[in-house]
Chain A
Amino acid sequence: MLTAAASATQIRHYQRLWLYGLCALIFTFLIVPCVLIVPMSFSASNYLEFPPRAWSLRWYREFFDSAEWMDALWLSLRVAGLTTLIATPIGTAAAYGLSQMPERLTKPLRMSFLLPMIVPNILVAIGVFFVFAKLGLNNTVTGLVLVGVMLALPFVLVTVSSGLQSFDGNLERAARSLGATRLKAFLTVTVPQIKSSIAAGALFAFVAAFDEVVIALYISSGENSTLPRRMFANIRDQVDPLVAAVSSVLVVASIVLLLIVQIAKRPEKGAAR
């Protein structure tokens, strides 16, 4: 480190201490809620408390042994999985379509695709509830997946669009001149080039559907409660550390998922260089 300023305008590290302090505060603010629930989940107490007075795994046992909770987890995984399978191809196709259109047409279309992301979920929830009531889709997996797809589409669209932005359209044209149909060129040349964007879009889609609680409060209940819906009810009615145990499981799962994505991404980056 420099002991004296190299130039009149240079800012030295100790002059920036306040900035480092601020960053540390923000970081703490972001991470503490995630870290705090982990010790709380190992509590032996009947209520959420911090720090726990006695340690136990009973709430984890409770979670994994409860048929209701397992049903909720399984339902959420199914909804999120189906959403991902449906939203990813649709969102990718939409992003590709927009990238091929004249620019003056894409703006309004893109805006309407992004609407579910912008409109407050509570408004969507009320609308969806009434429509689903007419269609008999409340409390069904189909209904939850439909809502999931609607919420996930903007995420897929945005990530894949940004991937397509750096994609050289000549590659696809080259493939077509070499004898590939448009679909074949897209699948064999374009998709491999944007696959990390598609994967990121799929991950966002999964999380968006898995994490959804506002709309689920309206359209899923009882046996057909999703995991976040059940957690929400638990916090309201019982306030026991079980919800902390579930959260901890989800935090660990998220971290593992992120690590997998990071590791999967690396070779592709190396090849691009």
Chain B
Amino acid sequence: MKVPVSIRGLSKKFGLFEALKDINLDIAPGEFVTLLGPSGSGKTTLLQVLAGFVTPTSGSILVAGEELLTRPPHQREIGLVFQNYALFPHMNVFENVAYPLKLRRLSRSEIETRVRGALDMVRLSQFIDRPVDKLSGGQKQRVALARAIVFEPRILLMDESLSALDKKLREQMQIELRHLHERLHTTTVFVTHDQREALTMSDRIAVINNGALIQFDTPRAIYDRPRTRFVADFVGETTFLPVELGSGGASVFGTPLRLPDHAGASTANPRESWLALRPEKLAIGPAAGPEAEVNSFSAVARETIFQGDSLLVIAGFPDGQNIAVRVVPQEANRGLVPTPGQPIHINVHRNDSILVSGDV
């Protein structure tokens, strides 16, 4: 079932604390949306509002055009997967997955068929009679998932659902979840504080900080065109250089910047502006000519950090600020790694020169 979800002007106050500030979010039918933010940003509160366990102070949530907030949690038809799985310990795998179906008074044979179907989908059929405490973390996660999708909910909510798993298993589950979503196409809201997880899994990412929605965009746009300093900093490694906005355009350290054709809204905001640079988009090389499409900055190499799949060169600008440049091994083999103390030029293509605003 594919339903659109429209969150309008949603606010939640706990006393004086504003947990959610006027959130507006339109989720397309069948879309996989991730709420990304640091802990305490309000993303879990938003999820709890969707699930019906927290009543918002104001606002509205329309699911397929119909108000969701007036429905009690048990009538929302929302599949919810918790971080700690929340499997019922006194029931085995079958009974856990059958629980929502029994509540819907389906026939025994129907329940049997659908539980088996759901367990097949998460590749757990052989564990159908296991007590849940005899399962590994990954298996519990799958049971929780099967239980949340078996009754064909209109929306699937996942609250930090993978963060209790170890790294390898988590990455495997991310891809499995993605595949599952491609099969079911249930509108999904996934909550995480892990930016890589968000980038891997989502159709669109909603970055949330201090209860406010900062940016809602595709993973690529969030990564390549962050709107604010917070987004650029939270999603990926970033070095920020102060930008002077004058009549002649933007400049850094007195050098005029060459910017992408659509430099973004932040140039219109004269209050504070930063040039956000990603380590992997930078290159160490000769100074660029005046007609080239790159911005070039002089710096002094400080140290080199070995990180296995790449090297990180830390260089310093004259004003004392450090910048990280990622060097892949092929370049290192060609002798392109500077020695500490060596003056270098750091080049970045104008399309990778992102201006972000300073607020939030």
Binding site for B on A (CB under 8 A): 168, 170-171, 173-182, 184-185, 188-189, 192-193, 271-273
Binding site for A on B (CB under 8 A): 51-53, 72-80, 82, 84, 86, 88-90, 99-100, 103-104, 131, 133, 147-148, 151, 157
Say yes or no: A170 contacts B82, CB within 8 Å: yes
| List of A residues within 8 angstroms of B103 by Cβ | 178-180, 184
A271: contacting residue among B77, B89, B104, CB under 8 A:
B89
CA distance in complex: A83, B133 (Å): 37
A272: contacting residue among B72, B89, B151, CB under 8 A:
B89
Among residues of B, the one whose C-beta sits closest to the C-beta of A170 is: B86
Say yes or no: B76 contacts A177, CB within 8 Å: yes
What would 17 A/B residue contacts be, using CB atoms closer than 8 Å? A170-B82, A171-B89, A173-B82, A176-B52, A176-B53, A177-B148, A178-B99, A178-B148, A179-B151, A180-B74, A181-B72, A188-B99, A189-B88, A192-B88, A271-B90, A272-B89, A273-B133
Say yes or no: A178 contacts B82, CB within 8 Å: no
Given A170-B82, A173-B51, A272-B89; A179-B133 close (CB under 8 Å): no
Task: Give 14 new A-B contacts, CB below 8 A, not counting A177-B52, A178-B148, A193-B89.
Answer: A168-B84, A168-B86, A171-B88, A173-B73, A175-B99, A176-B72, A177-B73, A177-B148, A177-B157, A178-B74, A178-B147, A180-B103, A181-B72, A271-B89
Give the distance to chain A from B191, nearest Cβ to Cβ, in Å.
14
**Max chain B C-beta neighbours (<10 A), residue from A177, A185, A188, A271:** A177
CA distance in complex: A176, B100 (Å): 9
Give the distance to chain A from B76, nearest Cβ to Cβ, in Å.
7
Say yes or no: B104 contacts A192, CB within 8 Å: no
| List of A residues within 8 angstroms of B88 by Cβ | 171, 174-175, 189, 192
Give the distance to chain A from B217, nearest Cβ to Cβ, in Å.
29
CA distance in complex: A272, B133 (Å): 8
Give the distance to chain A from B204, nearest Cβ to Cβ, in Å.
23
Q: How many A-B residue pairs have CB under 8 A?
A: 75
Give the distance to chain A from B237, nearest Cβ to Cβ, in Å.
34
CA distance in complex: A192, B95 (Å): 14
| List of B residues within 8 angstroms of A176 by Cβ | 52-53, 72-74
What secondary structure prevails in chain A residues at the interface with B?
helix
Say yes or no: A181 contacts B74, CB within 8 Å: yes
Give the distance to chain B from A70, nearest Cβ to Cβ, in Å.
41
Give the distance to chain B from A137, nearest Cβ to Cβ, in Å.
41
A178: contacting residue among B52, B89, B151, CB under 8 A:
B151
Give the distance to chain A from B54, nearest Cβ to Cβ, in Å.
11
CA distance in complex: A189, B96 (Å): 11
| List of A residues within 8 angstroms of B90 by Cβ | 192-193, 271
CA distance in complex: A188, B151 (Å): 18
A177: contacting residue among B74, B84, B104, CB under 8 A:
B74
| List of B residues within 8 angstroms of A273 by Cβ | 133
CA distance in complex: A184, B82 (Å): 20
| List of A residues within 8 angstroms of B100 by Cβ | 178-179
B80: contacting residue among A173, A180, A192, CB under 8 A:
A173
CA distance in complex: A74, B360 (Å): 74
Leading 4 A-B pairs by shortest Cβ distance: A178-B100, A177-B80, A174-B86, A170-B86
Among residues of B, the one whose C-beta sits closest to the C-beta of A179 is: B103
| List of B residues within 8 angstroms of A170 by Cβ | 82, 84, 86
| List of A residues within 8 angstroms of B86 by Cβ | 168, 170-171, 173-174
| List of B residues within 8 angstroms of A177 by Cβ | 51-52, 73-74, 76, 78-80, 148, 157
CA distance in complex: A1, B75 (Å): 65
A173: contacting residue among B53, B79, B89, B147, CB under 8 A:
B53
Say yes or no: B133 contacts A271, CB within 8 Å: yes
Given A179-B151, A180-B103; A174-B133 close (CB under 8 Å): no
| List of A residues within 8 angstroms of B79 by Cβ | 177-178
Give the distance to chain A from B184, nearest Cβ to Cβ, in Å.
17
Say yes or no: A271 contacts B131, CB within 8 Å: yes
| List of B residues within 8 angstroms of A171 by Cβ | 86, 88-89
| List of B residues within 8 angstroms of A180 by Cβ | 74, 99, 103
| List of B residues within 8 angstroms of A168 by Cβ | 84, 86
**Max chain B C-beta neighbours (<10 A), residue from A168, A174, A175:** A174
CA distance in complex: A170, B160 (Å): 13
Give the distance to chain B from A272, nearest Cβ to Cβ, in Å.
7
Give the distance to chain B from A166, nearest Cβ to Cβ, in Å.
12
Give the distance to chain A from B87, nearest Cβ to Cβ, in Å.
8
| List of B residues within 8 angstroms of A182 by Cβ | 72, 74
| List of A residues within 8 angstroms of B80 by Cβ | 173-174, 177-178
**Max chain B C-beta neighbours (<10 A), residue from A168, A178, A179:** A178
CA distance in complex: A181, B104 (Å): 12
| List of B residues within 8 angstroms of A189 by Cβ | 88
Among residues of A, the one whose C-beta sits closest to the C-beta of B104 is: A179
CA distance in complex: A173, B86 (Å): 9
CA distance in complex: A192, B77 (Å): 25
CA distance in complex: A272, B131 (Å): 10
Give the distance to chain B from A45, nearest Cβ to Cβ, in Å.
55
CA distance in complex: A178, B101 (Å): 9
CA distance in complex: A179, B100 (Å): 6
| List of A residues within 8 angstroms of B52 by Cβ | 176-177
Give the distance to chain A from B296, nearest Cβ to Cβ, in Å.
54
Among residues of A, the one whose C-beta sits closest to the C-beta of B90 is: A192
CA distance in complex: A273, B72 (Å): 34
Give the distance to chain B from A107, nearest Cβ to Cβ, in Å.
18
Say yes or no: A179 contacts B84, CB within 8 Å: no
